Structures are given as C-alpha cells and as structure tokens.
Amino acid sequence: MGMLVEAKQRSLIPSVKLLMDALIDTSEFRVSQPLYEQILQMVDE
C-alpha cells in the first residue's frame, strides 16, 4: 500500500482506489475497511 500511496503522490498513477479495488477483486489480497479508508484519505480520494 505504501508503494501505491507514494506513486500517487509522485503523480505516477492516477488513482490508488482503482488499483486497490483491482487487487482485492482479482487476487487474494485483503485489507481491512479502516485501513482502506485511511489510505484513500492519505491520497485525497
């Protein structure tokens, strides 16, 4: 998650939410709801 946050802050990716959602939907990747929301707040999404 830290890499996604940094990539968004450096304008290397347009959206952390889209990538996190894709990871959750297509793999066994799991993240708690509070952490999910905290990450999105960090990147203003």
- Spans of all domains in the chain: 2-42
pLDDT at residue 37, as a whole number: 97
DSSP annotation of 44:
T
Question: How confident is the model at residue 10, as a pLDDT?
Answer: 96
CA-nearest of 37, 35, 44 to 14 is 44
Model pLDDT, residue 13: 97
Q: What is the pTM of this model?
A: 0.81
Identify the pLDDT of residue 9: 94
**pLDDT in the model for residue 38:** 96
Q: CA 27 to CA 45: how far, in whole Å? A: 22
Q: Is the Cβ–Cβ distance between 4 and 23 less than 8 Å?
A: no
Q: What number of other Cβ atoms are within 10 A of residue 8's Cβ?
A: 20
CB 44 within 8 A of CB 8: no
Predicted confidence (pLDDT) per residue in 2-45, tens digit: 999 999 999 999 999 999 999 999 999 899 999 999 999 999 99
